[in-house]
Amino acid sequence: MVIDFYKLHGLGNDMIVIDDREGRISPAEMPRVARKLCNRRLGVGGDCLLVARGSDIADISMLVYNSDGTQAQMCGNGIRCFSRVVYEEGWIPFDGFSVETLSGVKRPQLLLMDGQVKAVRVDMGVPSFLTGDIPMECDSEEFIRRPIVSADREFIATAVNTGIPQLVVFVDDVRSLDIEKYGLPLEHHEFFPEKTNVSFVEIEDRRSVILRTWERGCGATLCCGTGAAAVAAACIKSGLTDRVVNVRVPLGSLRIEWDGEGSIYMSGPAEKVFYGKAFI
């Protein structure tokens, strides 16, 4: 089968978008398709595959598959990129629409310039710190600024769900940290039955933090939207930053806003890379 694909990135977190609203690809085949397309030597290359499907509760639905073929509930950078393709390709011909994901219905707000999407603001929902919601198996209702061990080192961390499980790990010098050494064990830590994303964060000041990301099913990535939301939520929850936070990553920054109670909002770019056809 030959399919059209769109390659985009959100601050270096790259992904492939395909249109399967007609349901030509069976759910059983999706993991194989994701592994094939995301392979950086034998395929298009990407951190994840985003699949457009129809929806009974929203204007369109987005399925997320990691590069290893596992399915994720949500992708923060992904929904910005997905929304740009949906609008600019005319799959939905208006700039306000709803997207069904496995973590609920999201409503992206598109910033347009000359008919093209320049940035996207997304209501990411209400972050949950309850260990049962994350899910996390530990002896407390919340896991906020508590010790956790990875490899040969103890860290202070906060767990939160911002669409998928997230562990926010506080460090003094994030740039020099070996995130593969510590990220992989934390992803598979016994506390997390469904594994977890790991966000290593260094606080610069009340309005700015630096993020490096380890994503479950992908490994180290240049950016993670749900991770940026988790970092901001964890910092705001503990009074470490103001309620508007610039989360800096190697290729830019995401703006995260949270009032401490309701939905958390993420704003950032979605850049096109190329379009093509692929054999699957």
Q: Angle at CA 127, nearest 5°, toward 122 and 128?
A: 160
Q: Which two tokens stand for residue 264?
A: 């958390």
Q: What's the per-residue H, E or C state across 226-272?
A: HHHHHHHHHHHHCCCCCCEEEEEECCEEEEEEECCCCCEEEEECCEE
Question: Does residue 224 have an active-site annotation?
Answer: yes
38, 75, 218, 223: which one is catalytic? Answer: 75
Residues in contact with 240: Cβ distance below 8 Å, sequence separation at least 6, in sequence order: 203
Dist CA 134 CA 161 (whole Å): 5
Confirm if 73 and 64 have CB atoms less than 8 A apart. yes
Number of neighbouring beta carbons within 10 Å of residue 15: 28
223 catalytic, yes or no?
Answer: no
Q: Helix %, strand %, coil % for the chain, to 5?
A: 15, 45, 40
Q: Which of 48, 81, 224, 235 is catalytic?
A: 224
**Contact between 37 and 5 (Cβ < 8 Å):** yes
Residue 2 neighbours by CB under 8 Å, 6+ apart: 277, 278, 279, 280
In whole angstroms, give the CA distance from residue 49 to residue 82: 10
Residue type at 277?
A: K
Query: Where in the sequence numbering do the catalytic residues fall?
Result: 75, 224
